Amino acid sequence: MVTGAASGIGFAIAQLFASQGANVFVIDLNAERSNAAATAIKNKTAGTASGLACDVSSEESVQMIFAEITGSIDILVNCAGIAHVGNLQSTSLDDFERLFAVNVRGTYLCMRAAIPAMLQAGRGTILNLASVAATAGLPDRFAYSMTKGAVLSMTLSVAKDYITQGIRCNCISPARVHTPFVDGFLAENYPGREAEMMQRLAQSQPIGRMGTPDEIAMLALYLCSDAASFVTGVDYPIDGGFFNLR
Per-10-residue mean pLDDT of the chain, 246 residues long, equals 97 98 97 97 95 98 93 94 94 98 98 97 98 94 97 98 98 95 84 91 92 98 98 97 90
Q: What is the pTM of this model?
A: 0.95
**CB within 8 Å of 203: residues ≥ 6 apart:** none
- β-bridge pairing 2-3 and 235-238: unpaired
Closest alpha carbon to 91 in 82, 81, 99 = 99
Residue 79: per-residue pLDDT: 98
Strands (DSSP E) found in the chain: 2-3, 23-28, 48-53, 75-78, 124-129, 167-174, 235-238
**Size of the chain, expressed as the number of residues it contains:** 246
Q: Which residues are catalytic?
A: 144
Sign of CA dihedral 199, 149, 180, 213: positive
2-175+211-237: which CATH topology? Rossmann fold (3.40.50)
